[in-house]
């Protein structure tokens, strides 16, 4: 989500006449887009304040802007104290105002917009249509600086309406606001025409898409059921299933999906409807992979977390998905050491992971976030114990991940090549868990390029990282690869020459 937001801000700045500086030291403007999901993420930015102040001392025209989830209205005084080098703070919903607030807007750059604000609970956010409208304007004027020419992010819903007691997102990003259906399909069409091979629909809870939009007769056939959490009237509104079908229906002259790979992230179990499962199974472009955070394998911990589902509910959904889409890869998020988590409760999570056999688990130690409901519970699992539980979890998951990957040995997979590997001195695989979300650190990983070749990597439809050798011209191509090596976090293979 932050990467997508950064692409939009960078595009607005470029459209307003700014140019990219070669280094931070050479810049007159530094925009830091923050994450606040755990304390460490915020600490990293706080730790850079001294360096930024030093840069300001040597460049009087340098301005520093802080955006993203660390900027929360109720925390205004604290912000200036914690981030003394910052000149301008923008909440996530204020990011479209960046250019105007810096006084950079010009006649050539009609993309800036200052939005009206509303208060929801104790959180100040832009009015409902503000982010959608500014996004649509930015897309229409070409002012989204997409970081890749292969895969594109496509935000479909902003904010979060859920009640997870540990989580700061509902406070930093406000309530759920869906973008209008036709605007999303239009952006997908533009992405297809620009030649992108993959689109990821983005939102804190993509499968709740549409519930806040006005009912329309053309969506009269939709009566999505919500089986957990707060009951809503969901009839006659578009949902994620409808959106997936509409994007999948964008076809080339040969009748194949105009965007070969469609993904979505993240899914909350609340709105994982049968309609969505049916659409996933029916649409050829929809990739066979799902990220479905469970957070804990213990029902009492889930209750204290405010997740409003049980492990039984979760497993019922997962079984249905696995039956509908055979071979689908499944990943999850787990928090260890949440308030009051006993050893027995933690062990129940381990048994849950062993039973489900996820392809990948992103695990994190609980980090208390200011203002969240869980601050009223005692953060009573000691740090060392959280770390031990994290390691115990990884020790369970690593062999499972390895086995899941070994199942691909000898098979042919379609790889969307997206990275030229940097040279490394030794073969090395990514660590699991915290921070290993994506193949950011691309190494050659045991791939031995021949003449005219380089070490490349890409993803299967199931989102498995694959290393291979080939010409640079394969970047952005779908290549068939026979898997000949499997590690716990990545596969390696040789292109199948037809
Ligand atoms: N909307 C998504 C998750 C967004 S946050 C969902 O509900 O699944 C991404 C992940 O960060 C969460 O799944 C959770 O595992 C983790 N997380 C959120 N708040 C946290 C906290 N206070 N401490 C540790 N991990 C946290
Ligand atoms: Fe946070 Fe829960 Fe919303 Fe995910 S669903 S963003 S974990 S409150």
Sign of CA dihedral 84, 90, 91, 95: negative
Q: How far is the CA of 63 from the centre of ligand 1 (A)?
A: 32
Predicted local distance difference test score (pLDDT) of residue 115: 57
**Tens of pLDDT along 21-79?**
999 999 999 999 999 999 999 999 999 999 999 999 999 999 999 999 999 877 778 89
**Tens of pLDDT along 116-158?**
666 666 666 665 556 777 788 788 777 788 888 899 999 999 9
Please, what is the angle between helix 274-282 and helix 240-248, to 10°?
10
Predicted local distance difference test score (pLDDT) of residue 436: 38
Structural domain of 449: 409-495
Domain assignment of residue 338, yes or no: no
Q: Ligand 1 pocket check: which of 167, 358, 379 to mutate, most ligand atoms within 8 Å of Cβ?
A: 167
Domain assignment of residue 57, yes or no: yes
> What's the longest Cα–Cα distance across the chain?
64
Distances (CA, A) of 304 to 309, 375, 407: 11, 12, 37
Task: Give the closest residue to 338 by CA, choosing from 160, 164, 486.
Answer: 164
Query: How would you classify the pairing of strands 151-155 and 198-202?
Result: parallel
Q: How far is the CA of 26 from the centre of ligand 2 (A)?
A: 38
Predicted local distance difference test score (pLDDT) of residue 154: 96
Contact 455, 469 (CB under 8 A): yes
Q: How far is the CA of 405 from the centre of ligand 1 (A)?
A: 25
Domain assignment of residue 69, yes or no: yes
Cβ-count burial of 76 within 10 angstroms (0-12 exposed, 13-18 middle, 19+ buried)? exposed
Q: Which residues of the chain have pLDDT under 50?
A: 107-113, 425-442
Query: What ligand has the least distance to the C-alpha of 333?
Result: 1
Query: Of all helices (H) and strands (E), which one includes residue 282?
Result: helix 274-282
Counting from 1 in the atom list of ligand 2, the atom nearest the Cα of 268 is 5
Predicted local distance difference test score (pLDDT) of residue 437: 38
Q: How far is the CA of 104 from the centre of ligand 1 (A)?
A: 35
Q: What is the DSSP code string of 326-394?
A: TT-EEEEEEEES-TT--HHHHHHHHHHHHHH--SEEEEEE----TTSGGGGS---S-HHHHHHHHHHHH
Q: Ligand 2 pocket check: which of 36, 205, 307 to mutate, most ligand atoms within 8 Å of Cβ?
A: 205
Q: How far is the CA of 37 from the centre of ligand 2 (A)?
A: 10
Domain assignment of residue 133, yes or no: no
Domain assignment of residue 451, yes or no: yes
Ligand 2 binding residues, C-beta < 6 A: 160, 162, 164, 167, 169-170, 204-205, 268
Counting from 1 in the atom list of ligand 2, the atom nearest the Cα of 167 is 1
pTM for the model stands at 0.90
Contact 159, 174 (CB under 8 A): yes
Residue where a domain terminates, one of 63, 93, 126: 126
Counting from 1 in the atom list of ligand 1, the atom nearest the Cα of 334 is 15
Residue 494, classed as helix, strand or coil, is: strand
Domain assignment of residue 326, yes or no: no
- Number of structural domains found in the chain: 2
The length of the chain is 498
Residue where a domain terminates, one of 58, 92, 126: 126
Contact 89, 138 (CB under 8 A): no
Predicted local distance difference test score (pLDDT) of residue 309: 93
Domain assignment of residue 16, yes or no: yes
Instruction: Provide the 8-state DSSP code for 408.
Output: T
Ligand 1 binding residues, C-beta < 6 A: 37-38, 166-167, 169, 204-205, 266, 268, 293, 295, 333, 335, 364, 366-367, 369
Domain assignment of residue 42, yes or no: yes
Residue where a domain terminates, one of 126, 151, 184: 126
Q: How far is the CA of 294 from the centre of ligand 2 (A)?
A: 11
Task: Give the closest residue to 134 by CA, choosing from 165, 105, 163, 164.
Answer: 105
Q: Atom 5 (ligand 1): residue with closest C-alpha?
A: 37
The two structure tokens encoding residue 63: 């301005």
Q: How far is the CA of 73 from the centre of ligand 2 (A)?
A: 19
């Amino acid at each position: 989500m932050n990467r997508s937001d950064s692409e939009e801000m960078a595009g607005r700045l470029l459209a307003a006449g700014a140019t990219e500086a070669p280094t931070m030291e050479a810049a007159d403007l530094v925009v830091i887009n923050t994450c606040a999901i755990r304390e460490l993420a915020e600490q990293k930015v706080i730790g850079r304040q001294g360096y930024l102040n030093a840069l300001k001392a040597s460049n009087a025209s340098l301005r520093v802007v802080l955006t993203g989830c660390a900027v929360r209205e109720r925390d205004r005084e604290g912000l200036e104290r914690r981030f003394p080098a910052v000149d301008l703070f923008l909440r996530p919903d204020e990011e479209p105002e960046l250019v105007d607030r810096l006084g950079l807007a010009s006649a050539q750059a009609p993309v800036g917009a200052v939005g009206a604000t509303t208060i929801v609970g104790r959180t100040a956010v832009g009015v409902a249509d503000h982010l959608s409208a500014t996004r649509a304007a930015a897309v229409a004027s070409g002012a989204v600086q997409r970081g890749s020419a292969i895969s594109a992010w496509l935000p479909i819903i902003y904010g979060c309406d859920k009640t997870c007691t540990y989580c700061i997102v509902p406070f930093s990003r406000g309530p759920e606001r869906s973008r209008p259906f036709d605007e999303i399909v239009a952006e997908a069409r533009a992405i297809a025409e620009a030649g992108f091979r993959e689109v990821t629909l983005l939102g804190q809870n993509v499968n709740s898409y549409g519930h806040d939009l006005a009912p329309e007769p053309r969506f009269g056939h939709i009566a999505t059921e919500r089986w957990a959490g707060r009951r809503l009237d969901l009839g006659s509104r578009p949902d994620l299933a409808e959106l997936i079908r509409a994007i999948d229906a964008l076809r080339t002259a040969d009748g194949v999906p105009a965007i070969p790979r469609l993904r979505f992230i993240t899914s909350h179990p609340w709105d994982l409807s049968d309609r969505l499962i049916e659409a996933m199974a029916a649409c050829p472009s929809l990739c066979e992979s799902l990220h479905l955070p469970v957070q804990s394998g213990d029902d009492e911990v889930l209750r204290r977390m405010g997740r409003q589902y049980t492990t039984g509910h979760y497993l019922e959904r997962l079984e249905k998905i696995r039956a509908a889409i055979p071979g689908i890869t499944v990943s999850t998020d787990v928090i260890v050491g949440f308030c009051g988590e006993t050893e027995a409760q933690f062990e129940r999570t381990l048994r849950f992971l062993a039973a489900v056999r996820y392809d990948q688990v992103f695990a994190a130690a609980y980090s208390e976030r200011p203002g969240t409901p869980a601050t009223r519970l005692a953060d009573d699992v000691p740090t060392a114990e959280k770390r031990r539980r994290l390691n115990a979890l990884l020790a369970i998951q690593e062999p499972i991940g390895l086995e899941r990957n070994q199942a691909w040995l000898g098979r042919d997979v379609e790889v969307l090549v997206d990275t030229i590997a940097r040279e490394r001195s030794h073969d090395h695989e990514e660590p699991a868990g915290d921070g290993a979300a994506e193949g950011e650190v691309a190494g050659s990983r045991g791939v031995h390029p021949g003449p005219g070749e380089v070490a490349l990597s890409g993803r299967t439809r199931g989102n498995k990282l694959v290393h291979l050798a080939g010409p640079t011209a394969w970047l952005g191509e779908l290549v068939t690869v026979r898997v000949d090596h499997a590690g716990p976090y990545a596969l390696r293979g040789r292109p199948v020459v037809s």
